[in-house]
Amino acid sequence: MERASRVPRVLPRRVWTFGAVGLAAAAALVLVLGRPHEVRIKGSTEATVRIGKADGTEQRAAAAGSLQALQPGELLRIGYRAGARGHLVAVSIDDAGTVTPLYPDHGPGLAVEPRADIRYFPDSIYFTGHGRERLFVVLSERPLSVGDVEKAVRAAHESAHGDLSAASSVNVPGRGHVEQFTWLFEKP
C-alpha cells in the first residue's frame, strides 16, 4: 500500500489520444454554434421569490404552485437567472383585476444577459390591500413590453372568470420562446 501511494500512475497513451480528439470535437462544436454564451441550455432559466421581514431577520423562499400566506409587513424580492439573452417583465394582478407593473414599471422589458447565478432586483415589493395577488415573471427571447404582458395577464384573468388560482399562465403572442413563472399570495 505504501509503495502504491508513492509511485505516480502512468496513464495509457490511448486515453490521452481520446482526450485530444474529444477536445478537438468540442472546439469544432463551439465554432459551429457560435459564441458559447449564446447557446441555450434547456432548463437554465429560473425565477425565484424570497419573502422576508423588513428588518431582514427572517427570509423564506416562496413555493411556486401553492398559495403563500403573507404576514403583515412582509416584503418580496424577485430574482432571476437567464439561460440566454432575453427580455424580462414582472407584473402582478389582484382579485379585482388590477394589474401592477413591477419590473420595469413601464415601457420595454428589461434586457437580460445569461448568467450562472441568480440576480435579485434591488427593490423589495410590498402588496397592499387584502385578498389574493398573483405575481408573473415573463422571460422572452424577443423584445416585449410591459403593455404586452399587462394585456396578456388581463386576458388570462378574464378567461379564468376572475379566479386567480385558475389564471396561472399567460399567452404573450409573437415573442418567440417565452418562459413564465408565477406565484399566488394571500395578503394579510
Can you tell me the distance from the alpha carbon of 118 to that of 45, in angstroms, rounded to the nearest whole number?
A: 10
- Tell me, what amino acid is at 141? E
**Residue 165, pLDDT above cutoff 70:** yes
CATH number belonging to domain 42-187: 2.70.50
| Three-class SS state of 4 | helix
> In whole angstroms, what is the distance from residue 156 CA to residue 162 CA?
9
Identity of the amino acid at 59: Q
At 63-104, the pLDDT tens digits run 887 899 999 999 999 999 998 889 999 999 999 999 999 999
Collapsed DSSP state (helix, strand, coil) of residue 42? coil
Domain boundaries, the chain: 2-37, 42-187
- Nearest-angstrom CA–CA distance, 31 and 27: 6
Strands 75-81 and 46-52: antiparallel
Which residue is it, cell 408565477? 182
- Percent of the chain, pLDDT > 70? 77
Instruction: Check if the beta carbon of residue 135 is closer than 8 Å to that of residue 182.
Output: yes
**44-58 tens-digit pLDDT:** 789 999 999 888 778
The residue among 116 and 1 whose pLDDT is bigger is 116
Q: Is the peptide bond before 122 cis (omega within 30 degrees of 0)?
A: no
Instruction: Look at residue 154 and tell me whether its pLDDT is greater than 60.
Output: yes
Residue appearing with cell numbers 424577443: 142
